[in-house]
Amino acid sequence: MDINTQLNESSAAKLSHLQQMTNQNLEEILQQAIDLYYQQFQTQSKTPIEILKDNGFVGCIQAESDLSANYKPLVQRLVQERNDHR
């Protein structure tokens, strides 16, 4: 796709700086900028559980399947066991 646009001085200076710092051409910089911008919208449209799964937080420990409903007795038992070993 061909794109024809005018940049203001500030944006043109930023683009020039990016080209100098990365040694990339205009096409490469624009493709990366579009990818990053697109990823922001993809992340915004995800549910909290999807974000947690994507980042490895879901399923990262092994525990009883009913842990969320029965965590208090489990914690009490662990504390008691720890105190018994002292």
pLDDT at 44 over 80: no
**Stretch 44-69: mean pLDDT:** 79
Residues 1 and 41 placed together within one structural domain of the fold: yes
Q: How many residues does the chain have?
A: 86
- Give the CA radius of gyration of the chain: 25
Do 38 and 51 fall into the same domain? no
Number of domains into which the chain is organized = 2
Range of the domain at 62: 47-86
pTM reported for the whole predicted model? 0.49
Asked whether residue 72 falls in the same domain as residue 54, the answer is yes
pLDDT of the residue at 12: 96
Q: In this structure, how many other beta carbons lie within 10 angstroms of the beta carbon of residue 73?
A: 8
**pLDDT given for residue 25 in this prediction:** 95
Please report, rounded to a whole number, the percentage of residues in the chain having pLDDT higher than 90: 40
Copy the structure tokens of residue 75: 């914690």
